[in-house]
Amino acid sequence: MNKLVTLSLLAVLGACSKSEEEKVPDGAENYALYCAGCHDPGPGHPATMLLEEMGRPVPSLIGRKDLEFDYLHSVVRQGLIEMPPFRVTELTDAQVREIYDYIITAQPPKQEPALPPS
Ligand code: HEC
């Protein structure tokens, strides 16, 4: 292979890997990746079911307007009774902040009950 072809191939490869690195997930994407599985509204989401049992007015995280950043941050870092903690290597403080901003500004979805009527 001549030198010029090799060089331009390297340039193309470099450009590809760079554009992938630039795609940093935002608050909504990190919420979907790290929190939604347990915290989305409706049945089948363990956190929503437990928080509904605990009497929170809005059992899902989306739609909660009463959450303070410091409280959410310490729950995320330390975990709770059944919630696992997240390390800085998984989510940075800035990413936790973005998730928080997303949660308190997102349009609340329709809240179907997570628990069957008793
Ligand atoms: C494996 C399931 C699971 C995941 C993943 C999870 N949580 Fe939780 N979370 C829970 C459960 C269950 C509770 C209810 C309290 C308890 O018993 O731990 C909870 C409680 C909370 C609370 C306290 C709410 C209140 O009203 O006191 C906050 C805040 C919270 N989670 C934020 C988050 C955020 C932000 C993420 C994503 C970074 C997340 N959680 C990911 C399971 C999870």
pTM given for the model: 0.83
Query: For residue 14, is it within any domain?
Result: no
CB distance 64 to ligand 1 below 6 Å:
no
62 lines ligand 1 (CB under 6 A): no
Closest residue to atom 13 of ligand 1, CA basis? 47
Q: What is the pLDDT of residues 58-111, one digit of tens each?
A: 899 998 989 999 999 999 999 999 999 999 999 999 999 999 999 999 887 776
- Give tens-digit pLDDT for 16-43: 555 556 677 899 999 999 999 999 998 8
With contact defined as beta carbons under 8 Å apart, do 106 and 28 qualify? Answer: yes
In total, how many domains does the chain have?
1
Q: Which domain holds residue 99?
A: 24-105
**For residue 44, is it left (φ>0), alpha (ψ between -120 and 50) or beta?**
left
CA 2, chain centre distance (Å): 47
User: Residue 82: which CATH number?
Assistant: 1.10.760.10
